[in-house]
């Protein structure tokens, strides 16, 4: 299986959780901690389950999350 990482642009992310909701593998979760902007950003939880489907990236309305394949 592909190994992937997710990158979140904390300037754009508003913590809406859409990416987490649409992740079919529960690979990402919203952080329990607020960042400096008062937002709970998505963080990796089980990236070993990530298939690289990019649904999180596609559904984010703010272009705040990106998936990158790691070689």
> For 30, phi and psi rounded to 5 degrees?
-80, 135
Q: How far is the CB of 47 from ligand SF4 (least distance, A)?
A: 7
43 part of the interface to ligand SF4, by CB under 6 A = no
Count residues near ligand SF4 (CB under 6 A): 27
66 part of the interface to ligand SF4, by CB under 6 A = no
Q: By CB under 6 A, name the one of 2, 3, 7, 17 that touches ligand SF4.
A: 17
> For 33, phi and psi rounded to 5 degrees?
-100, 145
**Closest by alpha carbon to 22, among 1, 38, 2, 42?**
42
């Amino acid at each position: 299986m592909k190994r992937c990482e997710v990158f979140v642009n904390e300037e754009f992310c508003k913590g809406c959780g859409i990416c987490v909701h649409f992740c079919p593998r529960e690979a990402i979760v919203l952080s329990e901690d607020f960042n400096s902007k008062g937002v709970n950003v998505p963080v990796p939880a089980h990236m070993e389950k990530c298939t690289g489907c990019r649904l999180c990236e596609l559904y984010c309305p703010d272009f705040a999350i990106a998936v990158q394949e790691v070689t």
